[in-house]
Amino acid sequence: MRFLLKSASFIFHPLWIPLAGSFLYFVFTPRFFPDGVVQAKLLAIAILTIFIPVVFYFLLKNLGKAQSIFLKDVKERKWPLLFYAILITMVLNQILNAYNYAALYYYFAGILFATLLAFTLVMFRLKASLHMMGMGSLLIFLIGISLNFKIDLTYTISFLILALGLTASSRIYYKAHSFNELLLGFACGVIPQALVLYYWL
């Protein structure tokens, strides 16, 4: 059980969430996209939302500005969140557009708002769970896809809810967050995604 809880923190790390949402979008959407286009979009998203942030983290770690990939200290979150917001903005401006990829475009818009919200909380010394923020964003996005395209995603959504509970338990077990911080992070992820649903549902 301890191994499962520890694994959840890595498997459902917030860095994976944008790519996971993008992958699931191309898997479930009934629209046709050429394989080359899908691969190019996923690769570009992976570079901007995973590889570059990891390089930036190691830079911060070498400078003594970050101790862990989980950014446990609220003071460590300022620059990573701001940098991540810039990268998400690049995805919106250079990789996606609201016409051809409406659902995915607004999914990233919701992630951007969530990131800026978490950044604002950091300014007030408030620590929101980024794991819960990411999982909450993905959950609302999949519910939106299910409603918009009339697709039965019951099993996928159920799995995500179980994963969300497992991740929350993991963060509590390892004393990375309090219950209030988990709830705050979940709200940061859910509210922006719920708001942008209006633009693509």
Per-residue pLDDT tens over the stretch 93-125: 999 999 999 999 999 999 999 999 999 999 999
* 114, two tokens: 């969530």
Helix 2-11 to helix 154-173 angle, to the nearest 10 degrees?
110
Confidence of residue 5 (pLDDT cuts 50, 70, 90): low
Q: Are 127 and 96 in contact (CB under 8 A)?
A: no
CA gap 155, 78 in Å, rounded: 36
> Taking the alpha carbons of 136, 141, 139, 49 in that order, is the dihedral positive or negative?
negative
Per-residue pLDDT tens over the stretch 40-68: 999 999 999 999 999 999 998 888 887 87
Q: Bin 129: left if φ > 0, else alpha if -120 < ψ < 50, else beta.
A: beta
Residue 3 has pLDDT above 70, yes or no: no
Q: Are 22 and 49 in contact (CB under 8 A)?
A: no
Q: Could you state, in order of their start, the residue ranges of all structural domains in the chain?
A: 2-200
